[in-house]
């Protein structure tokens, strides 16, 4: 159940702080390694990739509260902040990070494009939901029609872009770049806010905290929460991934990480208000800026933290991406996408696709 709309002043200064905070976060260097002190010669290291967004509350709270260090006292944790899934996948392919939190699009892309002998696979879920379609106040209507509108979503092929284009396809609409009437802008989240403020877009399909920033600081109106369109009101938006060789060679570390991962999820769900404060403190401590506490609180309540990978929704996401041409020209096989530490897979993958698209993966 969603919390009631939080009253937040739409002052320009508050909006500027919110935008600056995220912009600084996206460009900031990686935080210092957890644990302090020099790395000991015999000390093992886990290099982590994640985003400074609400959906990545598990790694943020887990690190800030020392939960991961408690489970892995002899492991040096080196967190590294990214601002997009493709960056994380590239870093994983380059061998510069070991485990990471990403959306289903990058997770699928990483699996399909990784070496069979060292496939990047999904270890756990981390978040569900936390995505909304927000209408500009000048275009807001319960009967909002996407036709001939200007709609924004983050980069092409990412999780929100796939959801947007699938929604349009289900209603017989196409983006203008495919001969349709809907103008789709695929641009970074801070630029979406800028165009929204200028009135140059009619709506945006975005995740938290961006959706709440648009709604609470700039007068936007949510047309719907995306989870309302999924069976059971749940769908994977953040997943934990790792390379198979790293898992096999460091089973004790991975076991400890998963234990801490689940405890962090319990801590967050036990007190979401406190989790919001932790998230804002994280922004202040590492990047010198915070978001409005009301924005953070609502964003946290709009996102479900869960270790359930919701595998069925991940496979459905792949089907949608394939129908949009994002999975390449040939068939694809997701067998083995989910890794289970008991030696089996969480679910059966699917081989599918006769797509006509030119792009490989889901970005």
pLDDT at 205 over 50: yes
Whole-number pLDDT of residue 84:
81
* Structural domain boundaries, residue 150: 131-231
Let me know whether 238 and 222 are in one domain: no
Mean pLDDT of 204-225: 97
Per-residue pLDDT tens digits for 304-355: 999 999 999 999 999 999 999 888 777 889 999 998 766 544 444 433 333 3
pLDDT at 28 over 50: no
Alpha carbon 236 to chain centroid, angstroms: 9
Q: How many domains are there within the chain?
A: 2
Which percentage of the chain shows pLDDT scores above 90? 72
Alpha carbon 191 to chain centroid, angstroms: 18
Cα dihedral sign for 82, 279, 21, 289? negative
Let me know whether 245 and 318 are in one domain: yes
Least confident of 78-87, 106-115, 277-286, 349-358: 349-358
Let me know whether 306 and 176 are in one domain: no
Residue 2 lies in a domain: no
Return the CATH number at 181.
3.40.190.10
Task: Count each helix (H run) and each strand (E run) in the chain, helices first.
Answer: 13, 13
Mean pLDDT of 277-285: 95
pLDDT at 138 over 70: yes
Mean pLDDT of 241-258: 95
Per-residue pLDDT tens digits for 67-77: 999 999 999 99
Last residue of a domain, one of 210, 231, 252: 231
Let me know whether 342 and 249 are in one domain: yes
Residue 41 lies in a domain: yes
Whole-number pLDDT of residue 187:
93
Whole-number pLDDT of residue 53:
92
Let me know whether 168 and 207 are in one domain: yes
Let me know whether 243 and 332 are in one domain: yes
Last residue of a domain, one of 181, 208, 231: 231
Which residues are CB-contacts of 73 (< 8 A; sequence separation ≥ 6)? none
pLDDT at 100 over 90: yes
Whole-number pLDDT of residue 156:
86
Whole-number pLDDT of residue 346:
40
Helices (H), 28-142: 57-64, 67-71, 85-93, 104-113
Let me know whether 345 and 198 are in one domain: no
Total-model pTM? 0.84
Last residue of a domain, one of 231, 261, 286: 231
Residue 18 lies in a domain: no
Mean pLDDT of 135-157: 95
Going by the DSSP 8-state scheme, the letter that residue 215 receives in this structure is I
Backbone angles phi, psi at 137, to 5 degrees: -55, -30
Least confident of 83-87, 129-133, 134-138: 83-87
Residue 6 lies in a domain: no
Mean pLDDT of 13-24: 40
Let me know whether 124 and 135 are in one domain: no
Name the token pair of 153. 């979503």
Residue 285 lies in a domain: yes
pLDDT at 36 over 50: no
Average per-residue pLDDT for the chain: 85
Task: Give all strands (DSSP E) within 136-252, no chain letters.
Answer: 150-153, 183-186, 203-207, 221-225, 236-243
Residue 315 lies in a domain: yes
Sorting pLDDT into bands at 50, 70 and 90, what band is 356?
very low
Rama region for 353: left / alpha / beta (φ>0; ψ in -120 to 50; rest): left
Let me know whether 290 and 264 are in one domain: yes
Report the b/e string of 133-162 with b at 16+ CB within 10 A. bbbbeebbeeebebeebbbbbbbbbbbbbb
pLDDT at 197 over 50: yes
Sorting pLDDT into bands at 50, 70 and 90, what band is 19?
very low
Let me know whether 45 and 89 are in one domain: yes
Going by the DSSP 8-state scheme, the letter that residue 66 receives in this structure is T
Residue 172 lies in a domain: yes
CB-facing half-sphere around the CA of 330: CA atoms within 13 A: 3
Whole-number pLDDT of residue 343:
52
Whole-number pLDDT of residue 25:
41
Which residue carries 């070496």 as its tokens?
115
Let me know whether 259 and 301 are in one domain: yes
* Residue 69 CA: distances (Å) to CA of 46, 110, 149, 249, 334: 11, 27, 49, 20, 33
Which percentage of the chain shows pLDDT scores above 70? 82
Maximum C-alpha span of the chain? 63
Let me know whether 247 and 121 are in one domain: yes
Rama region for 199: left / alpha / beta (φ>0; ψ in -120 to 50; rest): left
Mean pLDDT of 14-25: 41
């Amino acid at each position: 159940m969603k919390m009631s709309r939080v009253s937040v002043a739409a002052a320009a200064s508050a909006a500027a702080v919110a935008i600056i905070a995220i912009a600084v976060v996206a460009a900031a260097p990686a935080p210092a390694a957890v644990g302090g002190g020099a790395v000991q010669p015999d000390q093992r290291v886990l290099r982590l990739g994640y985003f400074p967004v609400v959906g990545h509350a598990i790694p943020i709270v887990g690190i800030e509260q020392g939960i991961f260090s408690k489970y892995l006292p002899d492991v040096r944790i080196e967190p590294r902040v990214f601002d997009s899934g493709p960056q994380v996948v590239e870093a994983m392919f380059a061998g510069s990070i070991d485990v990471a939190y990403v959306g289903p699009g990058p997770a699928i892309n990483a699996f399909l494009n990784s070496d069979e002998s060292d496939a990047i696979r999904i270890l756990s879920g981390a978040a569900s939901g936390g995505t909304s379609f927000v209408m500009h106040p000048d275009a807001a209507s319960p009967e909002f029609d996407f036709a001939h509108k200007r709609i924004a979503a983050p980069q092409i092929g990412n999780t929100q872009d796939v959801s947007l284009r699938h929604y349009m396809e289900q209603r017989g609409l196409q983006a203008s770049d495919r001969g349709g009437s809907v103008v789709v802008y695929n641009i970074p989240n801070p630029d979406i806010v800028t165009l929204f403020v200028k009135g140059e877009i009619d709506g945006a399909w975005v995740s938290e905290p961006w959706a709440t920033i648009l709604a609470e600081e700039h007068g936007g109106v949510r047309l719907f929460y995306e989870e309302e369109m999924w069976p059971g009101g749940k769908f994977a938006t953040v997943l934990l991934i790792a390379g198979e060789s790293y898992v096999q060679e460091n089973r004790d570390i991975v076991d400890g990480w998963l234990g801490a991962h689940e405890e962090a999820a319990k801590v967050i769900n036990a007190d979401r208000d406190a989790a919001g404060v932790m998230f804002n403190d994280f922004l202040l401590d590492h990047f010198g800026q915070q978001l409005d506490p009301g924005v953070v609180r609502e964003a946290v309540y709009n996102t479900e933290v869960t270790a359930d990978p919701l595998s069925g929704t991940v496979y459905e996401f792949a089907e949608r991406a394939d129908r949009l041409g994002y999975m390449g020209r040939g068939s694809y096989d997701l067998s083995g996408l989910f890794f289970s530490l008991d030696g089996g897979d969480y679910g059966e993958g699917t081989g599918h696709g006769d797509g006509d698209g030119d792009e490989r993966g889901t970005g």
